[in-house]
Amino acid sequence: MDVVLLLLIGIAGIVVAVAGTLVAVVRRMKEPNQSMEDRVEKLEEEVERLKD
**Tens digits of per-residue pLDDT, 26-36?**
988 877 777 88
What pLDDT is stored for residue 23 in this prediction?
A: 95
Q: How far apart, in whole angstroms, are the C-alpha atoms of residue 17 and residue 9?
A: 12
**Given a cut of 80, is residue 10 above it in pLDDT?**
yes
Contacting residues for 20 by C-beta, under 8 A, at least 6 apart = none
What pLDDT is stored for residue 30 in this prediction?
A: 77
Residue 47 identity? V
Mean pLDDT across the stretch 10-30?
93
Mean pLDDT across the stretch 36-48?
91
Q: How far apart, in whole angstroms, are the C-alpha atoms of residue 42 and residue 28?
A: 22
Measured at the CA of 24, the angle between CA 10 and CA 26, to 5 degrees, comes to: 120
Over the chain, what is the mean pLDDT? Answer: 91
